[in-house]
Amino acid sequence: MKQTSTYHIGIIGCGKMGKDLFDWLTGFPFAVTWVCRTAERAEQLKETFIKKQKRALKYGLKNEDEIRFRSENTLITFVPEDLAQCNLVIESITEDINRKRELYKVLEHVLPEKCVLASNTSSIPPDELFKGLSVEENTLGLHFFFPVAMKSFAEINVTKRTDQQAIDKVEEFLKRTGKYSLVLKGDDYFIINRMFLKMQAGCCRLLESGEMDVPEIDVLIKNNLFPTGVFEFFDYVGNDVMLQSVMNYLVYEEDTDFYLPMKNVLARKVAEGRLGKKTKMGFYDYPLKNAATDTEITRKKKEVLQQITHWYLDGVFDVLNKNLCSRKELERIVKEYMMTDKSPFKLAEEMGFE
């Protein structure tokens, strides 16, 4: 049966997240236009895409009709004007408000009248990001989590001027792709990332005090809470990205002094050029050779573990008390985001946390 496209999705940016969005969206019967910065990069990605399609056909992962549909409905380009037929465009370039705004000034003269312009920004408030655009009623933040295919939720961060029709269109699109969403406004922007901010900041305070070092803190967390330590997570995201995000998130926090050690720790790594896995050095050197696994750390630091756990649960219950989602939905989000099987509410019950 011949496939037909119900959406024409534009993606801007060919970094880690842009590529992940492209790989995910081309798995649906959508027309997809992917815009990169240069003709050379677009050509490289085009060649990779063609090879991938040929392999899928060769090994029976797709049939000829599916390959034909995907080839006819995929455009990899460096020309923003090629987005003129899209009904949803997702921008995923670097987390720089000035570069994003420059791009939007071009796009507002290119995109169709009812096209929704979304940014995958993880920290810049949409009210600031889209301010002054003539198409602001069709703009919003659409924050996906990496890797997109493995996360079943997304945040819709709306501006004061975002039209309800734009929100409805994006919610319907997310349902079509099997994701559920939280619609967030104002002080609730980026609530999922911010949920874990207190725990991350607390770990940086432990590091700055000299009470524990990086491997000790991460081992404590990995042995008791999550499969990835806090500083491993920083390296994975990128310490420069984390620093910029923390700076943006602090506008929502009252006790900013609590987060100063986190800013200082990340700023030092950035100044040293230790940005994480992408530079092969951050809080750790990569590839990791001898990851710490000393279970004795757990036995010696029970009080510290309790404090870290309290910081974690504080963030979870802060979100729950905002009534942004149900307890069941929040439990699902936390388990997916932190890749843990244990419910935060079960953990709170065991600890007698109030």
- Tell me the C-alpha distance between 136 and 101, whole Å: 12
Residue 2 has a pLDDT of: 47
CATH class of residue range 8-189: alpha beta
Residue 299 has a pLDDT of: 59
- Give the DSSP H or E segment for 32: strand 31-35
Buried b (16+ CB within 10 A) or exposed e, 179-212: bebbebeeebbbbbbbbbbbbbbbbbbbbeeeeb
CATH assignment, 193-351: 1.10.1040.50
* Residues contacting 319, CB < 8 A, separation 6+: 191, 192, 195, 325, 330
Tokens of 130: 């889209």
216 φ/ψ angles, rounded to the nearest 5 degrees: -65, -45
- Tell me the C-alpha distance between 154 and 144, whole Å: 5
- Tell me the C-alpha distance between 231 and 201, whole Å: 11
Report which residue type is found at 38.
T
- Tell me the C-alpha distance between 154 and 311, whole Å: 24
Q: Are 232 and 203 in contact (CB under 8 A)?
A: no
- Tell me the C-alpha distance between 211 and 208, whole Å: 8
Residue 93 has a pLDDT of: 96
Q: Are 308 and 225 in contact (CB under 8 A)?
A: yes
Torsion of CA 249, 132, 159, 23, to 10 degrees: -80
CB count, 10 Å around CB of 78? Answer: 17
CB count, 10 Å around CB of 111? Answer: 24
Q: What is the CA radius of gyration of the chain?
A: 22
- Tell me the C-alpha distance between 258 and 246, whole Å: 12
Asked whether the bond before 287 is cis by omega within 30 degrees of 0, the reply is yes
Residue 3 has a pLDDT of: 54
Strands 139-143 and 153-158, bridge-based pairing: antiparallel
C-alpha separations of 274 from 87, 221, 263, 277, 343 in Å: 40, 22, 15, 9, 34
> What are the sequence ranges of the domains in the chain?
8-189, 193-351
Residue 6 has a pLDDT of: 79
Place of tokens 């003539």: 134
Q: What pTM does this model have?
A: 0.92
Residue 298 has a pLDDT of: 56
Report which residue type is found at 17.
M
Residue 1 has a pLDDT of: 38
Which segments of the chain have a pLDDT < 70? Answer: 1-5, 290-300
Residue 199 has a pLDDT of: 98
* Residues contacting 309, CB < 8 A, separation 6+: 224, 225, 347, 351, 353
